[in-house]
Structure formats: structure tokens, C-alpha cells
Amino acid sequence: MAIVNTAWDHVSGNIFKTWLIMFFFSIFTVGVIYVIAMGFGYGEVGGLGIVGFALIMAGVMNFISYFWSDKIVLGVSRAKPLTEKDNKELYRLVENLCIASGLPFPKIYTIEDSATNAFATGRDPKHAAICFTSGILQKLNKQELEGVTAHELSHVGNRDTLLMAVVSVLIGTIALLSDFFLRSMWFGGRDRDSRGNQLFMILAIVAAILAPIVATLIQLAVSRRREFLADASGVLLTRYPEGLANALRKISADKEPLEVANRGTAHLYIVNPLKGQQLVGWFAGLFNTHPPIDARVKALREM
């Protein structure tokens, strides 16, 4: 019971921290759009009206990513469906964890690459997919692979793939508006004197430059927090923290980069697939997609 109680403490703490970050991110997004709108001189339309328009655009983009993001990710990753005949043992392992978690059985894919890694995608549990590299299936033992699978199923159950899609769209909206505003200052557009008062102009310039950076830092903070959450949720399924801890050690020790991975998909994987690009130090660590392996292993061994 001690493992379960400690795991639940980690789960509840990480859920609270994630939604706290998302709350401030939402306020930040609305504030940035409002300031940039006023900097454009849309006071006569109403800055809040522009905010509403921008958020509607973000909603449309979210709708598109909601239905097609998994297909795009699997296609970019060159993932191929794995049938039960191909790997009965893996199917039984996933099936047992699905029964324990109450989740529907996901589609299973593989990437032909000797690098060790895995990720989950899909808009909801009924349309989920888990993808394993051929390397991770060969190099991990059953308990370690069970820990990895439980981690990925937890991402599905916690709706992490949907959350990160929403965050990515909000960041894209901020980046597009910031870029459009900065370009409009130099190339045509409205007359500078009609763009609103000088205070909003200065604030808009600062926001257009800094907002995309801050938004990206928030995205990475959410991503790191969801990894801790999936680790803790996975332990609730396996009741064996050491399995996932050992798997994380093995995956991080494998120096072979995953060829099909890129910066746009790196946050999906259980461990950063772009080997050698994990930054160290407190400030540099803010730009990492994943928490340090030592911190994740430490949290697991405290459960």
C-alpha cells in the first residue's frame, strides 16, 4: 500500500501543477494577443474582440490537430502497424495493462530502428496508438517493457497527447501574431500613428519579441510535468517502480539517436530521442523537453 499511496501523492501533485501552469498560460495567451491587438491600433474594434477572433482561429487549428495529429506523427515517424501474430508476448503485456487501467486496447506500431524509445499518440483512449522502436523491444526485459508500456498508457489515460496538442496550437497562435506584428512594422500595413498609443506600441513590441520564447518555456514545463505524472500513473498499474526506473536508465544510457525523431516530435517520446541535446544546469534545463533522468528515477524509487 505504501507504493500506491506515494504514487497517488505524485499523481495528484503533478495534476495540480500542470493545470496551474495551464491556467496562467491561458491568461498569458489572452494578455499577449490583447497587447499586440492594441499595438496594431485596433482600439476602435476592441482589443477583446481581436482576442476572441484569435482564440476562434486557435479553436479551428485545435479541431484539425484533434483529428489528424496522430496520423501525422505516425507518418513522420515511419511507424508501421504491429499485429498480434508479429509479437504475441507484447500484445499480452499491453492487454493485461489495459485491463488493469480500464483503457481500451490501443493500436500498436513499431519503428524499425535499433535506438531504444517509445511514444503514445491519439486524441482519446478509443483512438490511441502506442509506438515502440524495434530496439526497445529487443533490449528491455519484460518488467522494464511493462514499465514503459504502463507509462505510455498513462499518457493516453491522462489525455496528455490532447493537452500537448492544445498547448502547441496556442504557442503557434502567439508566434504567428508576433511575427505578423513585427513584419507589419517594417513592411506596409497601417500608419504608425494610427496603431494606438505609444505605451501599447512599446508593450506590443516587447510582447512580440519575448512572448514566443516564454510560451515555448511554458510548453516545455508542461511537457516535463506530464512525464512525471505518467511515471507515477504507470507505477499505479504495475506496482513495481523499479521496472520503469531501470528502463529509463537503459534508454538514457543508449547513445544512439532515433533517426526519424525531430524537435517537433521529441516531446512525445518517453526519453528525449535527440541524444546529446539534453541541456544541463537550472536555467538551461528550462529548455529541455523531458525532466532529468536522475530526477525521474529518484521520484520512482521514493514510491
Active-site residue numbers?
Answer: 152
For residue 303 the three cell numbers come to 514510491
For residue 225 the three cell numbers come to 510535468
Other Cβ atoms within 10 Å of 5 Cβ, number: 9
Residue with C-alpha cell 539517436? 257
- The DSSP bridge pattern shows strands 118-121 and 80-81 to be unpaired
279 closest CA partner among 288, 291, 267, 268: 288
Kind and range of the H or E run holding 257: none
Written as one letter, the residue type at 84 is E
Helix (H, G, I), strand (E, B) or coil at 81: strand
What is the CB-side half-sphere exposure of residue 257 using CA atoms within 13 A?
Answer: 11
Q: Are 296 and 248 in contact (CB under 8 A)?
A: yes
What is the CB-side half-sphere exposure of residue 266 using CA atoms within 13 A?
Answer: 21
Give the C-alpha separation, 143 to 242, whole Å: 9
Residue with C-alpha cell 536555467? 283
- The DSSP bridge pattern shows strands 129-133 and 118-121 to be antiparallel
Give the C-alpha separation, 110 to 197, whole Å: 56
* E strand spans, 134-189: none
